Amino acid sequence: MMKKKILVLCTGNSCRSQIAHGFLKTFAKVEAEVFSAGIETHGVNPKAVKTMMEEGIDISNHTSNNIDEYKNIDFDFVITVCDNAKENCPYFPSAAKVLHYNFSDPAKAKGTNREVDEEFRKVREEIKRYCKQFVDQNL
């Protein structure tokens, strides 16, 4: 069986797409190859790494990739995780099924460290539910 190829797309490939990448890889196990990219690259957010470690998922070795690096991959699914990525999503000449869900950006959270951490956890849980559902329905 061919593995499904999934691309998660975000503005900066630093938080939401990285968290989704981690969960999709974990839930899909060997059923899929998961990639994530951004329209720009902002580096992986350390708080995204920390919040995923609480789930036992290590994304610290992830890199922040630009969408152009994946032009020649035939994706089965492209998931945009923010409105900006959806609006600026380059056209992929493949039969990819494009899905969209706008998660709020935890990197924009303001307040004390604790409040910011809470926002990261909240978004992480939303993304986790979404990814679990995606895998159950599509793989």
CATH code assigned at 103: 3.40.50.2300
Query: Residues 6 or more apart from 63 whose CB is under 8 A from it?
Result: 44
Determine what percent of the chain is predicted with pLDDT higher than 90.
Answer: 80
Is-contact 51 121, C-beta < 8 A?
A: yes
Q: What is the predicted pLDDT for the residue at 131?
A: 98
Q: For CA atoms 68, 124, 62, 29, give the dihedral sign.
A: negative
Average pLDDT over residues 91-107: 87
Per the structure, the complete domain to which residue 32 belongs is given by 4-138
Q: Summarize pLDDT for 5-59 with one digit per residue, the tens.
A: 999 999 999 999 999 999 999 999 999 999 999 988 989 999 999 999 999 999 9
Q: What is the predicted pLDDT for the residue at 92?
A: 67
2 pLDDT tier (thresholds 50, 70, 90) = confident
Is-contact 14 64, C-beta < 8 A?
A: yes
Q: Does 90 or 79 have the greater pLDDT score? A: 79
Neighbours of 123 (CB within 10 A): 22
Cα–Cα dist 98/61, whole Å? 26
What pTM does this model have? Answer: 0.94
Given a cut of 70, is residue 77 above it in pLDDT?
yes
Phi and psi (nearest 5°) for 134? -60, -50
Query: Would you name the residues annotated as active-site residues?
Result: 10, 82, 89
Distances in Å between the Cα of 42 and the Cα atoms of 12, 65, 100, 123, 130 are 5, 9, 21, 19, 23
Is-contact 22 60, C-beta < 8 A?
A: no
**What is the number of structural domains in the chain?**
1
DSSP assignment letter at 78: E
Cα–Cα dist 136/94, whole Å? 23
Given a cut of 80, is residue 93 above it in pLDDT?
no
